Structure 1
Amino acid sequence: MAVLIPQKVEQVLFAYENELKCTFNNKIFGVYIYNSVTLGNFDDSKSDIDFLTIINEDFDDVDLKKLKLIHQKLLNAYKYASKMEGMYIRIDKVGKGNDEIPPYVYFSNKKLHEYGYYDINSVTWWMLRNYGVAIKSPSISNLQLNIEWKNVITNMNYNINCYWKRKLENKFIFITDYWIEFSILTLCRILYTFENNKITSKTEAAKFAANMMVNEKYKMIISEALRIRTGASKKSLYKGRVDRLRDARDFVENIIIYCNDKYNLI
């Protein structure tokens, strides 16, 4: 699959890969990207540059100091380095989820985290296997990822019936622009995944979901989420945040019920 990576993204990724290999040599197995960049849906203002760096052995304290310097050097030199979000996973942990591996190093919000958990799950590995791109690194096929679609569906089931049901318990979580965008577009993406047996960008999933909706208030909350994401207008489609909050909660609950009923989840 030929993927056209935006030049400014490519510049920072090539610089990153080169710094890693020059500093750590054989400790680095390979650098890979996935999600919006490789789906051809990179948005300058909203998209992250999602990466997975596979390492042959763990970093020690000295290595971590060097790694911090690499990221800081990139942040100083490249605008798009601030969009990098990713994890450093040992090669013998490839294909496993957060519940199966010890804490790992990850980079998020322009900061290197030396110990913790981030975005490792079946969806991550499936996206890497099917849409990932190697950055001057061994082919992704060398990672021998044995992720099946049923693993992705299990992850989506957990998302809606655990994560999002818990979020609904908080009556005011959907009051902010951030949570409107994140919740509505994520649920649109989950709906798209169930309906089409594939994964797409949040923007494309939102367009698909809007076309499915009969209720006008659901179309409106999707449009509001897209407005926030794209920055098309600073003015909300809603007169007040309370009405918007109510529609967002109703939308999330509706998608949960719809997916559970149609796909026999739980």
Structure 2
Amino acid sequence: MLPALVEKTMYLLCSSLNARISNIESVYLYGSVALKDYIEGSSDIDFLAIVRNPLTQSDIQAIVAAHEEVEVVIPNTGIMGAYILFDDLENKQNEISSLLTYYDKQINTNGLGADINPITWWILKKHGIKIYGTDLTFNYDLEIASLLEYVISNLNSYWVNWINRLEKKLSFDNLSEQDINVKQLDKAVEWCTLGMLRQLYTLKEHDITSKIGSGNYGITELPEKWNRLIHEAIAIKRLQTNRYYKSQIQRLTDLLAFLRFIHLEANHVYNNSIDSLNYRRTLTQ
């Protein structure tokens, strides 16, 4: 059963699309909704609409009108997604022939905000929820090596940039409690702690989990000294008001230390995983 806001939003979107365009084959949900961890006010509603033929200008205008109707009736739902041909499923973004995105309340013909990556294809095939149109069979292969390669590359680029920014902030001379924006640090604690834990989970377990799922995994599997930070990240994600730190400097210090720890651990796990996968290949050759 879908969360009420998700069901209401997607019913309206699909009804609005159906009234305006005949090119939509199916609409599927992925992301936190598909992973059964949607939090209203905190999670996005992620969708993929599979189209029969490349979108015409008339199709695009109809899609724009449909999303405008949804935003008027149900504003600020955090809905985002893409319109894509079935044959382009599993492809890399730069290989996709026809890609339209809805991101930041705007239709984009250049793929802006597209969530097109191996994680998306993994969730769609294993957990995707059809909410409109034809039941599709996703026959594309899911190669664990490709998934792990994407995750470690993302960790060593996007997430390392976060580590570098936090290091720069913490290195300021005479940094005081008043120098730290609490709301910004709240976001960093939630986003980085749970985000990097998701990377570690995938590298170790060869599967995908939600942000809250990764937090619970971290509490169970990692040294107890990180529990306070992880509990704080989960509370923020759930929009709860309880906090586990009095000092913002200590919270920032612990966050940075945790991210460094995850970075090293994740690379160690990745190297071991690739060695193991390569060894298995040699046995089957």
TM-score > 0.5, shorter chain as reference? yes
1:16 and 1:74 in contact (8 A); partners too: yes
- 1:200 alignment partner in structure 2: 209
Q: Which moved more, 1:157-166 or 1:236-245?
A: 236-245
Asked if the contact 2:88–2:97 (Cα under 8 Å) also holds between the matched residues in 1, the reply is no
Partner of 1:64: 60
1:83 to 78, 89, 92: 78
What's the offset of the Cα at 1:89? 1.5
- TM-score if structure 2 supplies the norm length? 0.81
Rounded to whole Å, the distance in 2 between the matches of 1:103 and 1:246 is: 45
1:172 aligns with 2:181: no
Report the secondary structure of 1:115's partner residue. coil
How many Å apart are 1:7 and its aligned residue? 3.5
Give yes or no for the alignment of 1:46 onto 2:42. yes
Is the contact made by 1:36 and 1:48 (CA closer than 8 Å) also made in structure 2?
A: yes
Question: C-alpha displacement at 1:215, in angstroms?
Answer: 4.8
* Conserved? CA contact 1:103–1:116, under 8 Å: no
Q: How far, CA to CA, are the matches of 1:103 and 1:162 in structure 2?
A: 27
- State the TM-score, normalized to the length of structure 1: 0.87
Greater Cα offset, 10-19 or 57-66: 57-66
Cα offset for 1:148? 2.3
2:173 alignment counterpart = none
Tell me the distance in 2 between the aligned counterparts of 1:116 and 1:38.
22
Residues 165-223 of structure 1 deviation map (CA, whole Å, 9 limit, x = unaligned): 2322222399632222111111111222223222221112101102223252x222212
The Cα shift of 1:246 comes to 1.9
**Counterparts in 2 of 1:137-152, with a 5 A limit?**
137-141=133-137, 143-152=138-147
One-letter identity of the residue aligned with 2:52: N
Unpaired runs of at least 5, structure 2? 171-179, 275-285
8 Å Cα contact 2:29/2:47 also seen in 1: yes
Q: Secondary structure at the match of 1:96?
A: coil
Contiguous gaps of at least 5 residues in structure 1: none
1:52 Cα offset (Å): 0.4
- 2:196 partner amino acid: L
Q: Which deviations, in whole Å up to 9, do the C-alpha atoms of 1:104-137 show, x marking residues without a partner?
A: 3211233322323421001101100000011232
Q: Secondary structure at the match of 1:172?
A: helix
Q: In 2, Cα distance between the equivalents of 1:145 and 1:133?
A: 17
Structure label with greater radius of gyration: 2
Q: Does 1:263 align with 2:270?
A: yes
Of 76, 81, 87, the residue aligned with 1:92 is 87
Identical counterparts, % of pairs: 27
Identify the residue that residue 182 of structure 1 maps to in structure 2: 191
SS of residue in 1 equivalent to 2:203: helix
Residue 238 of structure 1 and its aligned partner are, at CA, apart by: 2.4
Conserved 8 A contact 1:86-1:107: yes
The equivalent position to 2:258 in structure 1, one of 245, 251, 264, is 251
The amino acid that maps onto 1:180 is V
Per mean C-alpha deviation after superposition, the further-off stretch among 4-13 and 221-230 is 4-13
